């Protein structure tokens, strides 16, 4: 089952594709996937992956950084958010990246 980010990203692709009146096959070709896979991603039935972010950002003129940050936030929270020392580990990582 796709995670929250995948479902939201799929909905974003669908919305942008509809607004720009782009056919499913064209967006799928840009992502180098078949149309049925993209359709399932848009419907939240199949997971998206982070490699799609720069392609979608460029294709629709969206802010790559904003999408990437949202992806990382959701991924980290879903994967590790319930761990008892998550905040401390994240702070340690931030402090050591400076």
How many domains are contained in the chain? 1
CATH number reported for the structural domain that contains residue 17 in this entry: 1.10.260.40
> For residue 3, is pLDDT > 90?
no
- Asked if 53 and 65 count as a contact pair (C-beta separation under 8 A), the reply is no
Going by C-alpha positions, the residue among 69, 26, 29, 31 that lies closest to residue 49 is 31
Domain residues for the domain of 33 are 4-97
In the block, tokens 């967006």 appear at 27
Residues 39-89 pLDDT 10s = 999 999 999 999 999 999 999 999 999 999 999 999 999 999 999 999 999
- C-beta separation of 10 from 41 below 8 A: yes
Question: Tokens in use for 36?
Answer: 């049925």
* Residue 56 CB burial class (10 angstroms; 0-12, 13-18, ≥19): buried
* Model-wide pTM > 0.75: yes
Is the distance from CB of 10 to CB of 71 less than 8 angstroms? no
Position 54 scores a pLDDT of: 98
């Amino acid at each position: 089952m796709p995670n929250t980010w995948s479902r939201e990203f799929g909905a974003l692709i669908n919305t942008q594709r509809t607004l720009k009146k782009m056919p499913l096959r064209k967006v799928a070709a840009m992502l180098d996937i078949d149309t049925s896979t993209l359709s399932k991603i848009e419907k939240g039935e199949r997971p998206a992956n982070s490699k799609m972010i720069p392609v979608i950002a460029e294709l629709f003129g969206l802010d790559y950084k904003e999408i990437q940050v949202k992806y990382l936030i959701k991924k980290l929270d879903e994967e590790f958010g319930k761990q008892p020392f998550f905040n401390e580990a994240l702070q340690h990582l931030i402090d050591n990246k400076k």
